Amino acid sequence: MYIILVYDVDEKRVSKMLKLCRRYLNWIQNSVFEGEITEVKLKELVHHASRIMDTECDSLIIFRTRQEKWLEKMVIGKEKNEISNMI
C-alpha cells in the first residue's frame, strides 16, 4: 500500500520521530513522509512511533491508499530532495 504520514510532536521528540520515519518512508516536507509500505512494516512503524510519542499531546496521522496512482501530488515552492531517505 501507499501512505502519507504526518506528525506533530513536541520539539523534544522530533529528532527521534524523524529518524524513525526515514527508516520506512521518503521525507517530503518538514514533518511529512510518503511511500510504499507493507502492512507488517506499517504496524512496526506505528508501534515504534507510539513508544516515542506522548499520545496526550502529540499526533500522528496516516493516510493509506491501495495504489499510488490514486493520489496525484502537486508541490508549490521548495521541494525536498526525492531521495532524502537515502542520505
Q: Which residues bind a copy of itself (CB under 8 A)?
A: 4, 6, 8, 28-32, 46, 49-50, 53-66, 70-80
**Closest distance between a copy of itself and the C-beta of residue 56, in Å?**
7
Which residues have C-beta within 8 Å of that of residue 7, sequence separation ≥ 6?
17, 21, 31, 49, 53, 58, 59, 60, 61
Q: In the complex with a copy of itself, which residue's Cβ is closer, 41 or 80? A: 80
The answer to whether 43 and 72 are in contact (CB under 8 A) is no
**Closest distance between a copy of itself and the C-beta of residue 82, in Å?**
13
Residues tagged in the binding site annotation for Mg(2+): 8
